[in-house]
Structure 1
Amino acid sequence: MVTTPLEAELLELAGSVPDPELPVLTLRELGVVRAVHARGTDTVEVELTPTYTGCPAIEAMSLDIQRVLRDHGVLDVTVRTVLAPAWSTDDITDEGRRKLREFGIAPPRVRPASGPVRVGLGPTRTRESRPGDETDPVRCPHCGSAETELLSRFSSTACKALRRCLVCREPFDHFKEL
């Protein structure tokens, strides 16, 4: 797909909007703004993919994108929800992962290959990884320890779990892998 200089500029503006649930991240860093299509100089369509189908923040994201683009002279802004391809935590940028960690939220672990995500319900504690382990441990964003435990599979939002570090004893959110 060819992107015009205007579309690239508008994509940057739409992507600069803070996420309403995690304002430390922009929508670009979260990876949910997929494309901007200019239809002339004053009509724009933005493709937005929610982190999951029932995401309650999609309306706030759409309104914020419309406001930012209108503030920059675009008269007609349509934000269209696009469900395919589905959003994945792989879409979070390296900068977004860094910001999550600095904000005290363990970022989602990076998966080595694309494809289905194995959902395991077993152990609630993590440890240093050993050769042959399928996943890396969830590290504490405060002290970096791999010795953490799951307190709740859900936290302040459905996309996060609540964990506690067994070394520094601090609780923290973990952005779950999807």
Structure 2
Amino acid sequence: MSLDLSTNPHVVSKVWDALDALTDPEIPVVTLREMGIIRDVEHVSDHVVVVVITPTYSGCPAMEQIHDDIRSTVKALGLAVEVRTQLAPAWTTDWMTDTAKDKLRAYGIAPPNRQYGVPAEQTSVVHFMRKPFQAADVVECPHCGSSNTWESSHFGSTACKALYKCLDCQEPFDYFKPY
């Protein structure tokens, strides 16, 4: 499907609509937009757009796939695209939508259960926790809802998740770490 730019003034809207179908390569039940990975779409000239993305963490192995998915989706609209990676402000779980958190839970991944409130104007990539010695968060099991859970490994299936086990239903699950 190619956009006729001479009659369609809503290029950015059309690009956003197309990008809304792209899911996270590591968690296929949530979209890149719901995760807050796609930050912006800019229409820079008649047939060129820039899509700005921020990785969930600097070593995210899915970034190349995300770049490729965005490129092919936008090119299918008849546009040239530059995918720009923006590291500051650093991605935070505050950028995840409530829909993403609900989808994670339904998929068997406990969503982050606190928010750091990183200001949008932040320019530093480095985060420091406000209360570094606070008690561990209570993480509810996405399978049975129990808060009787235990962190068995600080790193789960990916570095942005921890591996937990529910002591009631005995099911292991990933917990998307808040940061």
TM-score by length of 1: 0.83
Shift of 1:119: 7.8
Q: CA distance change for structure 1 residues 102 and 35 in 2, over 3 Å: closer, same or farther? A: same
Residue 64 of structure 1: aligned partner: 69
1:61-102 superposed Cα distances (whole Å, 9 cap, x missing partner): 01000111111221x111010001110011110000000000
**Secondary structure of the corresponding residue to residue 39 of structure 1:** strand
Retained in 2: the 8 A contact 1:15–1:33?
no
Residue 86 of structure 2: aligned partner: 82
Retained in 2: the 8 A contact 1:100–1:107?
yes
Structure 1 vs Structure 2: percent identity of aligned residues?
46
Is there any run of 5+ residues in structure 1 with no aligned partner, and where? Answer: 123-132
Shift of 1:55: 1.3
Quick check: 1:110 aligned with 2:110?
no
Quick check: 1:35 aligned with 2:47?
no
Shift of 1:11: 2.4
Shift of 1:136: 4.8
Q: CA distance change for structure 1 residues 118 and 153 in 2, over 3 Å: closer, same or farther? A: farther
Is there any run of 5+ residues in structure 2 with no aligned partner, and where? Answer: 1-8, 120-127
Quick check: 1:142 aligned with 2:143?
yes
TM-score by length of 2: 0.83
Aligned AA for 2:129? V
**Secondary structure of the corresponding residue to residue 173 of structure 2:** strand
Retained in 1: the 8 A contact 2:92–2:118?
no
Retained in 1: the 8 A contact 2:93–2:115?
no
